[in-house]
Amino acid sequence: MKNKETLIKIYRILEKIYGPQKCFLEHEDPLQLLVCAILSAQCTDKKVNSVSPGLFKIYPDAESFAQADLKKFEKAIKPIGLYHAKARNIIGTCKMICEKYNGKVPAEMEKLVELPGVGRKTANVVLGNAFDIPGFPVDTHVGRVMRRLGLAKSEDPVKIEYFVNRNMPSKYWTEFSHLIIQHGRNRCRARKPDCDNCEISRLCRKVL
């Protein structure tokens, strides 16, 4: 089966199982999503969602983040982990957003990845979920499932992203990422994947 056909079949099956998906990070605007996405590195979405509402009450816009006291900000996000780097990146990102983009999150990949702490995965999350611009974020779940399916060999998330971009219509990218993440949590777990009950096992080229 060709890669394009396989990807669409997997999408259809997962869509039927899990239904329409939305971003797992709770947010009300592009800036909130960007901040949450930076915070989510090596941290669960659930943990980020438990901290972010209080954070956004203290820092409601890019200017307030940009002017934040580093030590106080670190303390506010300490439960999330890697708080030193994340605090610096968020404050630096918001300073750049204020200086270059009038306090508004840019809606272009090239501009987003220039921001401190923002790579292609984070940029794709923001583009796809805040601006409805197709993007395929590759997190640990997506990379793991794609490799186990035999659709990707590389550990490089960018190569996996480009593979999907080449072989799948862009209208599916954002939703497909959400569906694979859901499946990675429910069935294709890092430890003890539930291959016996996996709904896409017949399409899996490398069943464990």
Residues taking part in catalysis: 121, 139
Instruction: Please say whether the dihedral angle defined by the alpha carbons of residues 159, 162, 166 and 167, taken in this order, is positive or negative.
Output: positive
How many C-beta atoms surround the C-beta of residue 124 within 10 A?
Answer: 26
Q: How far apart are CA 195 and CA 131, in angstroms?
A: 36
Q: How far apart are CA 206 and CA 165, in angstroms?
A: 22
Q: What is the CA radius of gyration of the chain?
A: 18
